[in-house]
A and B are shown apart, each in its own frame.
Chain A
Amino acid sequence: MTTIYILWLRQLKRYIRSKPRIIASLGQPLLYLFGFGFGFGPVFQKAGQGNYIQFLAPGMIGMTILFTSIFSGIELLFDRQFGFLKEMLVAPQPRLLLMIGRTLGGATTAIFQGTIVIVICVIAGFRPASLSALPMAFAFMVLVAILFTALGTTIACVLTDMQGFQMIMGFLIMPIFFLSGALFPLKGLPTAMQILTRIDPLTYGVDGLRGAMNGTSNFGMGFDLLVLGGIALVFMAIGARQFSRIEA
């Protein structure tokens, strides 16, 4: 337990101390929220879909958590580069606990970041359907954060340096974001698109968040929870396996 706690605490301290990173990672959701939100708002309204900011906000929260958690997972690469990874690997600790501690720490920072974005969304005019929905929204944030931190960790175990990061960004993370329905409704899409969006784990996160905050879920929140929980477990298992294989 101490092991998980101390590594969780380390991730948190690193997060709180890197204020430029906190601010930088808010730039993107702000841009989308105000640029897209207000830009496409009138069209969205005319198409009979209602208030775009209201629709977009859960997507932005999902996006923020996606980026922050993948990045905290990939931070393992920095640990390798700056040598701290070796310190962890020679410690008399099961690798599984090290991996869980790191992942929970990374996930916690992503949840913080998501919470800040909720506040920004509210300032932009977003109104959650009811306050009682918030605990449910929080559950989705937690699952999405754990899922993608574990994915980031897995990626970092496979890559050996930052060179491959651009590729991961372009071919994995951006598609996960765009295909999740964070920006557009998933109804009436061409079949190919529909299949792709169904494979994307973030789809269920965004759908669940919309269900909790706006009361409009496509798949039903129970189903979303189940899918996310399942994938989070699988990713944790793969991440732990990869992490136990790395060498200093």
Chain B
Amino acid sequence: MIKVEHLTKTFGEIKAVRDVSFQVGTGEIFAFLGPNGAGKTTTIKMLTTLLRPTSGTIEIDGLDPAHQQNEVRKRFGIVFQDPSLDDELTAFENLDLHGALYHVPRKVRTERGESLLKLFELWDRRNDPVKQFSGGMRRRLEIARGLLHTPKVIFLDEPTLGLDPQTRNQLWAQVKKLNEEERVTVFLTTHYMDEADRVAHRVAIIDHGTIVAQGTPAELKQQTNSETLEQAFLALTGSSIRDEGADSNRDLRNMAAMWRGRK
């Protein structure tokens, strides 16, 4: 479903992603793990047409995101790291707007909207404005929205960040259910290694812009002689802390480079 070869992205001096290659099969749940600033979000942005790769190739369902933008966009759903709902609109209106933007016929989007809202236990709150929702409810609504147009792949960029264990478990259970029922491919990132261990069929670990290991969670544990995926992760990426964003000037330069670097 996703095929990435020798993918590289540079922002001015900074090499955010270098020579990354991996494949994700149809119906697979794939976890893309890495410390802060490792290049996860940059990779997702390239996969989802928001950034153009500096070099290398990407195929999503056989299409190239850099050149067949709209065709690719119809095929994936995405839940961003930061919220992206319209707070003033109700849950249902957010879904409906999304459906319209994705060319889903009105009847279909009403029906599918209903079943997704029920699955994510938001049906009773469908007519409440999103600004009254808790973090967990917003997350669920965003996932429901990302699935409304029946995409072939859904990208989940740290969907459980800041949620309590109950909400996280429930959310992954719902994602797994959809993965089994609809065969939707799931591409996720998370900092909770236990989640990746439980949910993902396969895992890739990225550090400093390059992939340092790939395989099933069991394989990675075996490879590093660890008991948990977290230990394996630390063994592969070291235990030093990444001071991302400690220097605001560097942040600004990165921002500026990103704005300039769009071509």
User: Residues on A close to B: CB < 8 A?
Assistant: 2-3, 6, 10, 13-14, 17-18, 82-94, 160, 245, 247-248
Contact = CB atoms under 8 A, between A and B. Distances in A.
A13 B130 CA distance: 14
A245 B78 CA distance: 21
19 contacts: A6-B96, A6-B97, A6-B101, A14-B89, A82-B87, A83-B82, A83-B84, A83-B85, A84-B84, A85-B84, A87-B101, A90-B50, A90-B73, A91-B98, A92-B73, A92-B103, A93-B101, A247-B262, A248-B45
B100 A90 contact: no
B101 A88 contact: yes
A247 B258 contact: yes
Interface string B82-102: 111111110001001110111
Contacts of B88: 13-14, 17-18
Contacts of B129: 17
A13 B48 CA distance: 29
B133 interface: no
Contact of A82 (B45, B83, B96): B83
**Chain B interface category by residue count:** 20 to 34
Contact of A10 (B71, B82, B97, B259): B97
A91 B101 contact: yes
B55 interface: no
B80 interface: yes
Contacts, number: 74
A87 to B, nearest CB: 5
Interface of B: 45, 48-51, 69-71, 73-74, 78, 80, 82-89, 93, 96-98, 100-103, 129, 255, 258-259, 262
Contacts of B96: 6
B93 A13 contact: yes
B101 A3 contact: yes
A2 B259 CA distance: 31
A89 B89 CA distance: 18
B84 A6 contact: no
Nearest to B256: A160
Nearest to B83: A83
A92 B84 contact: no
Nearest to B74: A92
